[in-house]
Amino acid sequence: MTKAEMRSNQGLKTGEMARPPESDADAEPMKTSAIILLFVGLMIAMFMFSLNQTVLATALPTIVGELDGVDQMLWVSTAFMLASTIMMPIYGKVGDLFGRKPLFMFAICCFLLGSVFALIAGDMSMLIFGRVLQGIGGGGMMILSQSIIASVVPARERGKYMGIMGSAFAVSSVAGPLIGGWLTEGPGWRWAFAINFPLGIIALIAAAIFLKVPKHTSGKRPKIDVMGMALVSIVTSCIVLVSAWGGHDYAWGSWQINGLIIVGVLAIAGFIVVEHKVSEPVIPMFLFKNRDFLLCTIAGLFIGVGMFGVLSYMPTYLQMVHGIDATVAGLMMVPMMGTMLISSTLIGFVVSRTGKYKKYPLIGVLIMAASLVLLSQLKADSAAWETMGCLALLGLGLGLSMQTLVLVVQNAFPVAMVGTATASNNYFRQVGATLGMAFIGSVFTQRLMDNIKEGMGELAKANPSQPMPEVSSTGLTPQIVADLPEPLHTLIITSYNDALVPLFLWVAPLAVLGFIFLCFLPNTPLAQTLKTDPAKRELVRVDAGSSAGQVDSSDSLAEKARLKESTDDGTDNTQRPRDPDPRAAD
C-alpha cells in the first residue's frame, strides 16, 4: 500500500474522504435556466473543437497542392489530434484539482492562438505548428465541456444533455467539410481558421459570465503529476509516430521504428510505476478496476479508429474520384450528419426517461462495422447514392454509441473525479482516432504514390512513342485531376480509389471487437442525484464515534428506489450506482 493510499484510508476512518481541496462538486445545485445558459457556452466550445477536426477535410487537397506538401498531408490532421489527445488527461486532472473555469478559458485562448499561426501559414511547417497549438487548446475545450456539465447535472438527467452534445458533434463533423469546401471555393481555405475567432470570443464571454464555480479556499495545495504527464506524452507520441512513419518514411524493422517502439514500451512501464506512487495521478490505475470504465474505454478506442479514419479522408476521396468540387463533397457527407444527429439526440432523451442504455451502443458498433464493410466495396464508378447510404449507416452507428459510452463512464465515479474519468476515457478514444488517421493516412499516401508511379510506368510502356505529361504526385489538386487528359485521368482516380477504399475493410474487425467487449458491460443504474460529498454516497460510511451499522437513511432510500425502478429491465442490480471513491481503497 502506498503512502497516498494509507492517508486516504485514514481519512475514511474519520468520516472524511481524500478529494481535491477545491472542486466544482462543492457547488450548490444550479437552476435549470442557469444550466441552459452554461450549456450554450459549452456547446460552442465543443462545436469549435469538433469543427476543426473535419473543417480541412475538403480543403486539404487544395491546401497541400498550394503548399506543395501532399507527402505531409496526414500531419495536418494528425498533429491536431495528437496534441489534443496528449492534453486531455492533463486537463481532466488539473481541472479536478484546481478548478475548471480558468483552465477552460486558457484552452480557448490557446486554440485561438493556433488559429492565428494556421491563418498566416506560408508553408506546411507553420500550418502544422498552428494545428498543434489548436490541438493543445482543443483537448481542454472537449474534456472540460463534458466535465463541467457532469458536475452540475445528475447522470440520469445528463443523458439528454450528452445526446445534444453528440448531435452538435454530428453537425460539426459534417458541417466542417461543407464549410471548408465552401470557403475553399470562395474566399479561400484560410478563412476556415478565421471563423474560429468570433466563435471563440462568444465561448469566452459565455464561460466568464455563466460558468460559476467556487473559489479555491482550503487545504494543502495538491501536487501535480508532472512525471506522469511527461510519460503519457511520450507514450502517445511514440504510438502515433510508429503508425505514421512505419512503412512510409521508415521501413518496418528499421532502427528508427524499433527505437520508437522500445521507447514507447519503456515509457508505458515507467508510467504505470509512477501512477502507483504519486498522490494525484494523471490517469489513476484504479480506473481500470472499474468494469464500466474499462469496457467503455476499449470500445471507444476501436470506435475512434474507424470513425476518424473515414472522416479525415472521405471528402478528399469524393473530390478526386467523383470529380466534384469541395462544396458538393461536403454535401455528400450530410446523410452521415443527419443520422448521427437524430439518433444521438433521441437516444439521449430515451436514456434519460428509461434509465436503460446497454443495448444502444451494442447495436451502434454492429451498424458501424457493417458500414465499414460496405464502404470497402465502393468502386471508382460507384453511384453517389451508394456512398451516401454507407455514410448514413455509419452516422447511425456512431450516434447510438459515442455519447452513451461517455455517460456510462461518468456515472461510475463521483463528481470530484468526473473530470479525470471523462478525460481518461476520451484520451483512449482520441488515441484510437489519432491512430486511425495516422495509420490510414500513412498507408493511403504510400499506396497512392505507389499506384500512380506504377500506373505511369505501365502507360509509358504501352505508349513508348507518346510523351507523357509530367504529373507530380505531391502537387495534385481536384482541379488538376479534372483537367488531366485520358488515360491519365482514369489512372489518377483509380489510384485514389484503390489506395483508400480497401483500408476500411481492415478496420471493420475493430468494431466487431468493440461489440464483443460491450457484451460484458453491466447495465449499472444511472444516478438520479449529484452525490458531491463522498462521505454521503450510496455506500455505507462509518462516521467517527458512530456505530458500524449506522447509515444515512436518505441515501439508503434513494438506493432502494433506484434498484426497484431498474427491476426487470435488464439492469445488473449487483452493480452499485456509483463506486466508492477508489482513491480511498487499498
The dihedral formed by the CA atoms of 350, 354, 358 and 359, expressed in degrees to the nearest 10:
-60
Query: Residue 257 domain-assigned?
Result: yes
What SS3 class is residue 282? coil
More confident residue, 30 or 510: 510
Residue 451, phi then psi, degrees to nearest 5: -60, -45
pLDDT of residue 471: 60
Residue 522 lies in a domain: no
Task: Tell me if residue 250 falls in helix, strand or coil.
Answer: strand
C-beta atoms surrounding 18 within 10 Å? 19
For residue 407 the three cell numbers come to: 455517460
CA distance 458 to 203: 55
Of the pLDDT bands very low, low, confident and very high (cuts 50, 70, 90), residue 106 is very high
- Count of residues making up the chain: 586
| Of the candidate ranges 97-106, 415-424, 490-499, 566-575, the one whose mean pLDDT is the lowest | 566-575
User: Domain containing 256: what range?
Assistant: 226-277
Count of domains for the chain: 1
Query: What pLDDT, on a 0 to 100 scale, did the predictor assign at position 367?
Result: 94
User: Greater confidence, 576 or 366?
Assistant: 366
How far is the CA of 20 from the CAs of 93, 289, 305, 532, in angstroms?
A: 10, 21, 34, 12
Phi, psi of 332 (to 5 degrees): -70, -15
Residue 68 placed within a domain: no
Top mean pLDDT of 82-96, 103-117, 318-332, 524-538 is at: 103-117
Is the Cβ–Cβ distance between 582 and 286 less than 8 Å?
A: yes
Residue 209 lies in a domain: no
Give the Cα separation of 370 and 509 in Å (integer).
Answer: 10
Most confident option among 254-258, 302-306, 533-537:
254-258
Please report which confidence band the pLDDT of residue 139 belongs to, taking 50, 70 and 90 as the band edges.
confident
3-state secondary structure of 332: coil
> What per-residue confidence (pLDDT) applies to 477?
66
What pLDDT was estimated at residue 17? 36
Do residues 576 and 538 lie in contact, with contact meaning Cβ atoms separated by under 8 Å?
yes
Write the pLDDT tens digit of every residue in 213-240: 555 544 567 778 889 889 988 998 898 8
Reported as a single tens digit per residue, the pLDDT across 177-196 is 778 878 888 888 888 888 88
Answer for the pair 152, 316: CB distance below 8 angstroms, yes or no.
no
Of 506, 355, 527, 388, which Cα lies nearest the Cα of 440? 506
Rg (CA), the chain: 25
User: Does residue 256 sit within a domain?
Assistant: yes
Higher-scoring residue by pLDDT: 354, 74: 354
Residue 499: CB atoms within 10 Å: 22
Q: What is the DSSP letter of 216?
A: P
Specify if 410 maps to a domain.
no
pLDDT at 550: 38
**Rounded distance between C-alpha atoms, residue 143 and residue 493, angstroms:** 39
Q: What percent of the chain shows pLDDT beyond 70?
A: 78
Place of cell 474519520: 14
Q: State which of 17-21, 152-156, 340-344, 366-370 shows the largest mean pLDDT.
A: 366-370
Which residues make beta-bridge pairs with 250? 246
Please compute the mean of the pLDDT values over residues 281-294 and round it to a whole number. Answer: 89
Q: Is the pLDDT of residue 303 over 60?
A: yes
Is 252 a domain residue?
yes
| CA distance to 11, 60, 367, 445, 477, per residue, from 495 (Å) | 64, 18, 28, 11, 14
Separation CA 300–CA 554 (nearest Å): 35
Residues 6+ apart with CB under 8 A from 113: 133, 137
- Residue 264 placed within a domain: yes
**Quick one: pLDDT at residue 265?**
94
Q: Which residues contact 65 (CB under 8 A, 6 or more apart)?
A: 475, 476, 477, 480
pLDDT at 495 over 50: yes
Whether residue 491 has pLDDT greater than 90: no
Confidence check: pLDDT of 551 > 80: no
